[in-house]
């Protein structure tokens, strides 16, 4: 048995000794602080329903999965896109630059010699650079903008409500309010007045609108012979104006025609990724829209 005196002797710390056992322990490793928190409640079995996908019927965030087949997009990828690649592809083609901005010398005109100009007048390029068609640059549809403006807004200031209701029924989308940007004394409208609505369609709603327009609305118009050549601009967009009778031919409006007091026309802007009017016509005609002309087509001149 060790005495009390000997135990007190060994309990003291002798730093002068060279033995490792007699020295105090120290560490040169930096302490590790775990800042990551773990939510253990999510690891339990009772919260398995929170881990389900939104399209699972057992999830509390259940949202049905869209399984509708887009006939227009399927037709584009199966038929139109390969045909565009075959007809528009050119070997060893180069980028054709558009019309560049030409600066005009203001001092060249004798009437402008003593007149100070704050800016240089010139011509802005109306055409974009034409890039050659390749497998990564095939023209396709971007979106469809539909605008509905109320006629005779001075007589019926609430006509914009009817115009927005027509857009919502036809496009199945909530329309945005269309306001006056430039006031005109003749029209009697002020800046900011509501005159109608506009909708930007993408995805399935875009395809459904174009199919309804091409297969139901336009064929009912006996005077419609086809789209005109000048309706496609140099940026690859097709601008189509529909009359009041054309709007009334939409199934959503035609089924309940008596409920609509007024029906207004539409302005449809079909935007594509095409950089040339010829390619835009090929794309739109491949989707089923016919073109009609009474004289030879005059292509745009390029510089």
6 or 173: whose pLDDT is higher? 173
Q: For residue 119, name the pLDDT band (cuts at 50, 70, 90).
A: very low
Long-range contacts of 85-94 (CB under 8 A, 24+ apart): 85/133, 85/135, 85/138, 87/282, 88/133, 88/138, 88/139, 88/279, 88/282, 89/133, 89/134, 90/132, 90/133, 93/132, 93/133, 94/132
The answer to whether position 196 is within a domain reads yes
Whole-number Å distance between alpha carbons of 207 and 213:
10
Whole-number Å distance between alpha carbons of 15 and 25:
11
Domain that holds residue 205: 54-92+134-303
Find the mean pLDDT for residues 30-57.
75
Whole-number Å distance between alpha carbons of 37 and 220:
66
The answer to whether position 110 is within a domain reads no
Averaging pLDDT over each range in 40-49, 94-103, 288-297, which range is the top one? 288-297
Q: For residue 100, name the pLDDT band (cuts at 50, 70, 90).
A: low
The answer to whether position 126 is within a domain reads no
CB 78 within 8 A of CB 69: no
The answer to whether position 117 is within a domain reads no
**Rounded mean pLDDT of the chain?**
79
The answer to whether position 300 is within a domain reads yes
The answer to whether position 102 is within a domain reads no
The answer to whether position 27 is within a domain reads no
- The pLDDT tens digits of the residues spanning 197-241 come to 999 999 899 999 999 999 999 999 888 888 887 888 878 899 999
Give pTM, 2 decimals.
0.69
Q: For residue 122, name the pLDDT band (cuts at 50, 70, 90).
A: very low
How many domains does the chain divide into? 1
The answer to whether position 121 is within a domain reads no
The domain that holds 271 is classified in CATH as 3.30.1440.10
Q: In terms of Cα–Cα distance, which of 161, 136, 147, 166 is closest to 240?
A: 147
């Amino acid at each position: 048995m060790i005495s009390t005196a000997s135990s007190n002797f060994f309990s003291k710390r002798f730093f002068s000794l060279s033995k490792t056992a007699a020295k105090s322990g120290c560490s040169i490793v930096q302490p590790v602080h775990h800042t990551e928190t773990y939510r253990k409640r999510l690891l339990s079995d009772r919260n398995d329903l929170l881990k389900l996908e939104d399209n699972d019927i057992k999830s509390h965030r259940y949202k049905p999965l869209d399984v509708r087949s887009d006939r227009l997009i399927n037709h584009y990828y199966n038929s139109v896109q390969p045909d565009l690649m075959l007809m528009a592809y050119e070997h060893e083609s180069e980028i054709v630059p558009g019309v560049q901005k030409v600066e005009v010398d203001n001092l060249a005109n004798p009437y402008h010699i003593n007149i100070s100009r704050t800016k240089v007048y010139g011509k802005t390029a109306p055409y974009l650079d034409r890039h050659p068609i390749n497998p990564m640059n095939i023209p396709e549809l971007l979106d469809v903008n539909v605008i509905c403006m109320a006629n005779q807004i001075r007589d019926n200031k609430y006509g914009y409500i009817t115009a927005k209701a027509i857009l919502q029924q036809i496009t199945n989308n909530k329309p945005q309010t269309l306001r006056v940007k430039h006031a005109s004394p003749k029209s009697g409208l002020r800046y900011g007045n509501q005159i109608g609505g506009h909708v930007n369609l993408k995805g399935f709603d875009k395809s459904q609108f174009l199919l309804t327009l091409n297969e139901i609305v336009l064929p009912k118009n006996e005077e419609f012979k086809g789209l005109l050549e000048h309706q496609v601009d140099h940026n690859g967009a097709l601008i189509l104006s529909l009359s009041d009778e054309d709007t009334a031919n939409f199934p959503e409006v035609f089924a309940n025609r008596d409920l609509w007091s007024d029906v207004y026309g539409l302005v449809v802007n079909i935007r594509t990724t095409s950089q040339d009017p010829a390619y835009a016509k090929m794309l739109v005609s491949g989707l089923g829209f016919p073109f009609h002309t009474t004289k030879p087509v005059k292509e745009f001149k390029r510089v």
